[in-house]
Amino acid sequence: MSKLQKLKSQKSRSRASKRLIHIGNAAFILLFVSIALLYLLHRFTAIRVLQLPIIPIVAFLGGGGLVCWLWAEWVEKRGRKLLVSVVLIGFLGMNAIAFLGAYSMTHFRSSEQWSLASPKPINYKRPSDFGLPYETKYIAIARQQRLETWWIPTANAPSRGTILLFPGNRGSKSQVLLPARVLHNLDYDTLLVDFRGTGGSSGNTTTLGVREGEDVAAAFQWVRQQDARRPIALYGVSMGTAAILRAISTQNIAPDAILLELPYSHLLNSVKRRLRFYNIPTFPAAELIVFWGSIQHKINGFAHNPAIYAKQVRCPTLILQGDRDKWIDRAELKQLEDNLPYSHHYISFPNAGHQLLITVNPKLWRQSVQQFLDGID
């Protein structure tokens, strides 16, 4: 081959590789724009983004862009450099998405603010809306923060005992008003608690039950200081159950009974189940989300395992669970049950998912709770 022919061939390959690189760049730009647009639609509109074919779109744009880059580098005989670049870009991209995902899951914003954080849970109803008398009480916690609570005394003194109620993730104390009304009618004093970052309490973050365990302990100690009538029981929903179990394990509180509605056993596995539900590969996405959430809040999310905390429980336990709960694995829940060293009861609600069970079957909920509490009086 003559020198002129070689020169023409090199120029031809150079033009081809440039076009491929441009196409690859355009594919990745379109991919990131699409992800941002889908997130905004999911956050601020009623469009059900998660029902769209997100995985095929990501695979087509990301895979197509990657193929174009690899082909271009092969044409230019610089495949090793491209491989390093692709791995680096992929690594940084996955971590950036995981960081933003963890931030969105654990940070709250006011309705007037715009950010990647979720809207701060508010109290959409008050006890007076249910005909319940109440007082708003504040409990001091660390770093000049406080918890807002509602104290609802029984109408028939003396009460049969005191029950503290804790809501689930992204919920406020108004979430547990229906259970509180039933307990009020059963002649129990109740204290409904907003975790830090939610409702009327200070802060704008959640740690999915880690530091919320300190909130449970603070509320329990406050009730003890008020000479509240015993037995003193703790009731929690979902994340509230994790906070209760962590408080017992790490804060050394000793309630007379606990009621766990929709408990989960391992934070990492819980994140994996949510990703799997939306057809998102769990590895390494779940590990990265928990990792960056841990970094952001200076905690160890990988060690946040309510099933392990359960080993320190020294009181009767009632577990309430929906038999169609897509977020809770029955085998993992069985592990939590097996780790409870004291007597416990398990009640399954037919045709119920991960929702407040009193709204699914009020009669079964009242009967189960009343029978359990009668056994500890």
* Greater pLDDT, 168 or 26: 168
Provide the pLDDT for residue 32. 80
Give the torsion sign (CA, 68, 69, 75, 80). Answer: negative
pLDDT in tens, 226-235: 989 999 999 9
Provide the pLDDT for residue 38. 74
Give the torsion sign (CA, 263, 268, 269, 275). Answer: positive
pLDDT in tens, 89-125: 777 788 888 888 899 999 998 877 777 788 999 999 9
Classify 120-265+306-374 by CATH class: alpha beta
DSSP label of 75:
H
CA distance 183 to 180: 5
In this prediction, residue 52 has a pLDDT band, given cuts at 50, 70 and 90, of low
Provide the pLDDT for residue 10. 47
Whether this model's pTM surpasses 0.85: no
pLDDT in tens, 117-151: 889 999 999 999 999 999 999 999 977 899 999 99
CA distance 180 to 216: 17
Check: CB of residue 208 under 8 Å from CB of residue 231: no
Residue spans per domain, the chain: 3-114, 120-265+306-374
* Greater pLDDT, 355 or 4: 355
Q: What is the mean pLDDT of residues 260-273?
A: 94
Asked if the model's pLDDT at residue 9 lies above 50, the reply is no
Task: Please give the backbone phi and psi of residue 239, each rounded to the nearest 5 degrees, phi first.
Answer: -60, -30
Provide the pLDDT for residue 84. 55
